[in-house]
Amino acid sequence: MLFNSIEFALFLPIVFLLYWFLFQRNLRWQNLFIVGVSYLFYGWWDWRFLVLIAFTSFCSWGSGLLIQRYRHRPLAKLVHITNITLNLIILGVFKYYDFFVTSFATIFLDGQTDGLLLKIILPVGISFYTFQALSYSIDVYRENLKPTRDIIQFFAFVSYFPQLVAGPIERATNLLPQFEKPRAFDYSQAVDGMRQILWGLFKKIAVADSCAVYVDHVFAAYQSQGGLTLAVAAVLFAFQIYGDFSGYSDIAIGTSKLFGIKLMRNFNNPYFSRNIAEFWRRWHISLTTWFRDYVYIPLGGSRVSKAKVVRNTFVIFLLSGFWHGANWTFIAWGIFHALLFLPLILMGKNRKFTDNIAEGRSFPSLSDMCRMLLTFMLVTLGWILFRADTISQAWEYITMIPHGGGFYTQGVLTCVICVFIMLVVEWIGRGRSHGLELKCRSTLLRYLIYFILIIIMFCVYSNSESFIYFQF
């Protein structure tokens, strides 16, 4: 079930009404209702994978109880390691098995994979809910969180439908306690949630989907395109993936506000970043902080020798790349960003820009503008690796950009207009939680903005495109 579909447009108001009017008086029944509708939402793609998410949830819930019961005994560590291993094995089999087999066959078996591939359909959002479940058992083991005995609350935490298939990857320390106490309807929060949903839909439908038409055409036949066309397609893909993923996050966070549950922010205007370090503090925040807290810091972080700092940085970015997909292009993308990030952390400049750009001003300084453009160009270069099918294809694409040739114009004006509107709105609201968190007092002006955005979406709407990050 897609957020930008008719099915979800019918699903959401029905769930909202039942949630507040039928199940509000009993917390347990309300949580059970969340589990039920979440499983319906997830099973809309393929009901068979409900067994998988239920198994993951049960194992992590049970491990938390066993860790607490055998605290400070060797058995607690064994349970902890077993749960992590089991979850990673499930993720590995479904997401990476065929990749490893194909890579092995290419090197040692002349590419022959007959009878070796499983050809399993990748469960939607498996990387997201696996990491979410793992964070729970890790936090319990570290004594940062007391385990819950209420299995319904835990299943609601893992399967919560707004963020189930594409994040944000919530921590148990934030989300689980919200299922442990009664929720009260907050009108202002719900209104803000509707605004955020609208903004997310605009970024998905008007920006991402319109850019996708141009980008898909160019990348499918890049060898016959001119250099300017290739450059424009790469830039538009940067905005496509941002509009797609941040749009999903906005819809998820906004939808959750309707149910009185707060999710963490997942994007903070990453394309306004002044260096790569700032970009990664603003892009996919839930994943970045997950790797930071559960991998980077346990390895020693940046408070170790220079050699280990280099190692830790590459480990994080390799894992981040590999998390995104079973392809060498994602690993190369991770290495590329590690090479960009490493000089900053070695020189102690990775925390240089922690404020909002042009704080208290309408426009950035010339130096900040140059830094923004340079950072965006480097990120866009990396997105070519991310988008390409093979590393050689990405390299060929990049080397063709300096060459001349004709310019493919069909649909590009629509993309530029929609991207421009998005950037203007987000620049104006760069110090707020989302683009449509409006501060203007004029009701007429607010509704005029909503109306314009809706009209634009209807004008550019072509078909219901799946979200890019569903594949992860």
pLDDT attached to residue 463: 65
50 lies in the same domain as 131: yes
196 lies in the same domain as 168: no
- Distance of alpha carbon 314 from alpha carbon 319, whole angstroms: 8
Q: Look at residues 158, 184, 210 and tell me which one is the last residue of a structural domain.
A: 184
Q: Look at residues 184, 206, 231 and tell me which one is the last residue of a structural domain.
A: 184
175 lies in the same domain as 205: no
Q: Is 173 in contact with 145 (CB distance < 8 Å)?
A: yes
136 lies in the same domain as 74: yes
46 lies in the same domain as 143: yes
408 lies in the same domain as 441: yes
User: Residue 74: which domain range?
Assistant: 6-184
Question: Which residues are known to be catalytic?
Answer: 324
Q: Which two tokens stand for residue 67?
A: 């860790």
Give the number of other CB atoms < 10 A from CB of residue 307.
8
450 assigned to some structural domain? yes
171 lies in the same domain as 196: no
**Percent of all residues in the chain with a pLDDT value above 70, rounded to a whole number:** 97
466 assigned to some structural domain? yes
Residue whose tokens read 């298939």: 165
- Distance of alpha carbon 425 from alpha carbon 413, whole angstroms: 18
Q: Look at residues 184, 201, 228 and tell me which one is the last residue of a structural domain.
A: 184
85 lies in the same domain as 14: yes
330 assigned to some structural domain? no
Q: Which tens digits make up the pLDDT trace of 146-179?
A: 999 999 999 999 999 999 888 799 999 999 999 9
Integer angstrom CA distances of residue 13 from 6, 217, 258, 408: 12, 36, 10, 42
Q: Which tens digits make up the pLDDT trace of 203-227?
A: 999 999 999 999 999 999 999 899 9
336 assigned to some structural domain? no
152 assigned to some structural domain? yes
175 lies in the same domain as 215: no
178 lies in the same domain as 193: no
37 assigned to some structural domain? yes
Q: Which two tokens stand for residue 20?
A: 């507040």
* Residuewise pLDDT in 10s, the chain (472 residues): 788 788 889 999 999 999 999 998 899 999 999 999 999 999 888 888 899 999 999 999 999 999 999 988 889 999 999 999 999 999 988 888 888 888 878 777 776 777 777 777 778 889 999 999 999 999 999 999 999 999 999 999 999 999 988 879 999 999 999 999 999 999 999 999 999 999 999 999 999 999 999 999 999 999 989 999 999 999 999 999 999 999 999 999 999 999 999 999 999 999 999 999 999 999 999 999 999 999 999 999 888 888 999 999 999 999 999 998 888 999 999 999 999 999 998 888 888 888 888 888 889 999 999 999 999 999 999 999 999 999 999 999 999 999 877 888 888 999 999 999 999 999 998 889 898 988 777 888 888 999 999 999 988 876 656 666 566 5
| Sequence-ordered list of residues with C-beta below 8 angstroms from that of 350, at least 6 positions apart, any chain | 277, 302, 341, 344
pTM: 0.93
135 lies in the same domain as 206: no
63 assigned to some structural domain? yes
pLDDT attached to residue 47: 86
Integer angstrom CA distances of residue 80 from 65, 67, 316, 453: 11, 7, 22, 48
158 lies in the same domain as 206: no
342 assigned to some structural domain? no
Count of the separate structural domains present in the chain:
2
- SS3 sequence, the chain? CCCCCHHHHHHHHHHHHHHHHCCCCCHHHHHHHHHHHHHHHHHCCCHHHHHHHHHHHHHHHHHHHHHHHCCCCHHHHHHHHHHHHHHHHHHHHHHHHHHHHHHHHHHHCCCCCCCCCCCCCCCCCHHHHHHHHHHHHHHHHCCCCCCCCCHHHHHHHHHCHHHCCCCCCCCHHHHHHHHCCCCCCCHHHHHHHHHHHHHHHHHHHHHHHHHHHHHHHHHHCHHHCCHHHHHHHHHHHHHHHHHHHHHHHHHHHHHHHHCCCCCCCCCCCHHHCCCHHHHHHHCCHHHHHHHHHHHHCCCCCCCCCHHHHHHHHHHHHHHHHHHHCCCHHHHHHHHHHHHHHHHHHHCCCCCCCCCCCCCCCCCCCHHHHHHHHHHHHHHHHHHHHHHCCCHHHHHHHHHHCCCCCCCCCCCHHHHHHHHHHHHHHHHHCCCCCCCCCCCCCCHHHHHHHHHHHHHHHHHHCCCCCCCHHHHC
